Structure 1
């Protein structure tokens, strides 16, 4: 299928809007981390991933129909969306949970900071971005900021958890890129829903296969009202809403620049944990400041690539 490549100058308004969407996406997405920490104590990662997809899709499809009408939703490129979202968004969230389950939060945060690097390489390979010194410097500041935010600079221990996170990052970057670039005829809502439905189908298929194979992945404990609240936060904030804002940001400023914002996530998580009784974390605050500086430096030259949603 043909994918249009658009190269033109980003206006200040477009840059501001795209960065605001990226920041908001990661701020809301960060709510998933404390929720996942709590839920993983009693939920299998695949069962949790499936529930997240089901609730997100059931939440977004009615909104899409109400805003754009049934005819537009029905005529959307469902097959393309499912084929793109299935192997990318369907597997990336599960690998992220596996990584969080097998490694420390610090290791996961450092590994997640590779998303801007992967996204940049993706845009360079596809010819959508020419590297400039300001962009490379901004990228470096973004990664350094993420490392500072975790309070750790030693080498990350390798293992299945690390490989799972790297796999998640690559799939998420590729899925985000393809979702926005291959559906010029739909809005950010469509860019969000279509791949998520593909992810739901793949996740449900794997889950059913795991049950048929005899694996114990069915939740068997009593689910409390508090746990239900965390499940809703994990699904709607951690996927549905944050994903909608994310694909809108990618459509405005590209997947590479949008992904810079993920490296401020440790700071957002720290802010959320303050409300749960944690103390102020200066490394997280300083790291977030470095990430923001990286975002600004990377865009000092207003020339880039973007595909309007």
Structure 2
């Protein structure tokens, strides 16, 4: 591929990644609504089951029975169970033990973890532009929280949040590396099915042993709608777009986009009557600038 074709491909991958973050951010308010009535592990299992339930038939229709049957299901269950099953559970557990600010601030470390994995496992070399872009992404992500940073707490919940970021980052890279012959929907379906199986078995075991169970009677139309959004939109659709972008950009560069998520959340809240936060706008702009710098997309001056 020549440089003339690389630029549009990079642009499209970044736009797809932005769309993934936007859709994922829409599910965060839904999680806050659901976690009151559904414990973290059953909520994770329900979310994974909904996503896998819609993606598996779509994969079958798109790629055919032979591709689905011949896929590396053992590897898919392993990657999905650890990367997305355990990772998603730890994230929801962290939310239940801390708050959204703490979880989001710790999630800002994802680009660092992603680039570290690429350096260790793929031999990526650190360039000055990459380091500068990473620093701008982190600064922009933290800036979106402004004075709220004083509310960040550290403890078991914060540790769970960090572990979830490590799991998800590893799982995203492993999904792309382990299934090169599968389409994006196939990669997403096989790993989310693995996550659904792992969390489903764990949730059933927990409830059978007397652990906390969902308060089904408290779930009304509002909660059901939130669960559908949380499973279908914020996971199934968002994950497909995310895996596409990781496949084109790599986990390190794609992860830079996550630090703009607070800005997207603010947009949704503003549409629902919330306030406009210029600090989050500035933070998102800095994140965007960091993405451009890290990928070497700054236009060069024309030479005479």
TM-score for both structures, normalised by structure 2: 0.93
Q: Does the alignment pair 1:295 with 2:287? A: no
Q: State the distance in 2 between where 1:74 and 1:205 align.
A: 22
Map 1:71-150; keep pairs closer than 5 Å. 71-150=66-145
Q: Does the alignment pair 1:193 with 2:189? A: yes
Give the counterpart of 1:181 among 174, 177, 181.
177
The structure in which a higher percent of residues are helix is 2
**Deviations 1:209-259 (CA, angstroms, capped at 9, x unpaired):** 211221122333242111111111111111100000001100001000000
Which sections of structure 1, spanning at least 5 residues, go unmatched?
A: 1-7, 303-309
CA RMSD of aligned residues (A): 1.8
Give the counterpart of 1:172 among 168, 172, 177.
168
Q: State the distance in 2 between where 1:98 and 1:222 align.
A: 20
Q: State the distance in 1 between where 2:234 and 2:290 align.
A: 25
Q: State the distance in 2 between where 1:115 and 1:254 align.
A: 13
Secondary structure of 2:17's counterpart equals helix
Q: Does the alignment pair 1:265 with 2:258? A: no
User: What's 2:153 paired with?
Assistant: 157
User: What's 1:38 paired with?
Assistant: 33
Q: State the distance in 1 between where 2:46 and 2:259 align.
A: 26
User: What's 2:280 paired with?
Assistant: 284
Runs (4+) off by over 6 Å:
none
Deviation at 1:155, TM superposition (A): 8.4
Deviation at 1:81, TM superposition (A): 0.8
**Deviations 1:13-61 (CA, angstroms, capped at 9, x unpaired):** 2211211111111010001111111111221111111110111011111
TM-score for both structures, normalised by structure 1: 0.91
User: What's 1:219 paired with?
Assistant: 215
User: What's 2:229 paired with?
Assistant: 233
Secondary structure of 1:144's counterpart equals helix
Q: State the distance in 1 between where 2:297 and 2:270 align.
A: 37
Asked whether the 8 Å contact 2:19–2:241 carries over to 1, the reply is yes
Secondary structure of 2:93's counterpart equals helix
Which sections of structure 2, spanning at least 5 residues, go unmatched?
A: 299-304
Q: State the distance in 1 between where 2:272 and 2:39 align.
A: 24
Asked whether the 8 Å contact 2:176–2:246 carries over to 1, the reply is yes
Moved more, 208-217 or 195-204: 208-217
